[in-house]
Chain A
């Protein structure tokens, strides 16, 4: 699609210094440069967007340091379905004051300037009460007055700024989750507040052990601690008891069981000791443990949710309504959820199909990139099967619905995405298990210490047990992993690598299998002239013919030979599916497919010789001048310059690199040869379902990484241990990716792997340090070498070391 836009606008190929677009900052095609004008635009979309902003005095937008560098390409849809009753019944919530609210999923939202635009521009329409954007999920909440303004106007406005809206399908589930999230956050807050205050009381007690404290105050602070820890156990800590109880009733062993046991025993022992006014209390440790465990769970839940969210947003991209024709020929619009097999769909050009079905009338081109990744449109005629989520390009179609809703192919792929996301092994579980064992071990050791010293020197037994409890505080241990990971994620983001979860870092640090999608990942994803055989004097003649053509091949010639003067053409004739012919400088010139050119140069025998010299994985184009074939060109999707070195670097690190593509096997093999990969590592012609199966089969001991850019990769990316979305990828694919590279090319992938390795190194260093520290501390305390005050001073020292170690580590970033 991108080629076509660019090509229609490029009218004269004259070389100039690069001019950047006033709106998006991209280079303006030379043919569109308006000499003398202060504002330049790369396309009409950007011009319209600029005019809207300028007219309403919103030029402030252009002062943002970070702006969206993407040409505005409005879809041109009317969004009339947004005004339908069926649409309103499904997605719009009415407020008592007459206003209505809708949640829209916007494509193309990236940065601060997007928030600014989306929240301000709709307000320009009379009747819009407010617009609020959640940038992480690209969801905009719009409140407006339906009696004053149809929603389609708002939708068109967003579309013309380059943010095509879709109704968000997961509103109900979202509501439930929001409540869950809030309850969790409240528990964390309460547990944190209680833990902090118990620590204060505990410090008073520790100081008292050391410097002497009147018995009265000791009793007071012990009772105070008991008073504080009780609500912590009953409110935020209840989840662990509830989980343990549920696990015991179903006779399974869950992580909550040892945690609940540790908490319960610690609390009862502490409470008894408080009442009989002797022996240690564990309350500060217990409260802190509840807090830390809850924080860990919260982070883990957010990571899993990001994956589920992705699938839901993906679903929002499929059409929400469909037009159905009945037997009399009358057409009415119904929500996509109400579609049934046997109904007849009326699909206009430019619309996305809402269900799988068979074409019953019409002949058109279908863009199935969403499902197959194939960028070239396929033709569809009567009797052909078409799928939901694909786009009808050229002519109206009638389609008999075969599969709708949940059973359509795209819905099944999305279900797979969600399923795979759920199955992923969460890392925090390991931390929880460790914490449970850790607490148990510490309590046992404290008990042993107390008993031993009770016999050896009764006066110091309590002191030594307390010192052990303090010095083995799990703070450093609990901090070591999340701190290193969050620091690394922050550094990675600054170098253009966005990592959604900590487990991705862990998996990427161990070499495994990496699957690379071809189009857009290894290659540049555009048609370009890769080989030319023929004399130089033919070039201007070809260029002259191709100047006004919209075909990708024409754009390829213009890009390759930019700056070359082109003579004037007469009598140009375009033959769709064949080529172009015309008179240039008195010569008859034909450019096109071998079959087409042979018709114009019938007697030439050198054609086969020329064709034989071209790579079979390319699209051949012949040039004939005055009835003789004089030149041949090969078009293809060129391999990125950095792909070879990047693949080499990955293999050097022990990764097995494979290519997994929906394109023809011959094309994939050619790319494999260019990257020096064995033939067995290159698989072409893979459907999205097959990609997923291949990725699943590769699972084993090793981690599997899938790198892709399209929806056709989404299921495979979700099934992989780590899914990586590359620069310029489809919205839906980015939503399911664990890692998103904003820098073009595969170079960023190498940086990602290297950074992950370094991060794991830091984590291991932190863990080793805190474990060694705790073991030594525990040993000294058991030997009676540390008193509680020294222990209280040593405790923060270990945490501080972990913080410094994580902070100074150069994990991600530019290589030196």
Chain B
């Protein structure tokens, strides 16, 4: 379980997250949605320890996120933008991460073949396209069988075939009761994959609950419309 308590984050004078209190249940897919600049990525990065909180605490399975870094062994992360050392190859990065994670448990085969990555893994990153780099990020996030998977706008750079395989992959991991957190601007994707939804706006949580209860609450069938309604309520 991931719990965020009274989290504030300031960048300079800019308050990006305001008193965020959040519990992310294990074994579920939680989507964090919100307009650009609402603090989604900052929230995710705070859980990963990439961003240091100004106030408040974050716990992953009861352990405080801070100086102890070993909790990240249980996390797989796919960043919004992927970039790797240009003179290294995909295979080299994979074995670097394998050695840093100190594990032999790598299940890359299916992901490699489904994303058609096999032929790309020995090429230097400077010769790979943005989409291929993104696919390698998918591989790194899923290959080490982590209990928690964090995905920041995962399908943004993927082609439709890869994107569809990616969604199957998420659903498969969901079956295995993994804790998955994802951000996305594509509401149909969120509706398809997630159980829970967290709606962030201007650094504050405006809604948290299951997708079904949000739809019932707003008497809508489409998530996009329900979200738009929360936003318009906010404007009033």
Q: Is chain B a partner of chain A in the same complex?
A: no
B interface residues with partner A (beta carbon < 8 Å) = none
Question: Which residues from chain A sit less than 8 Å from chain B, CB to CB?
Answer: none
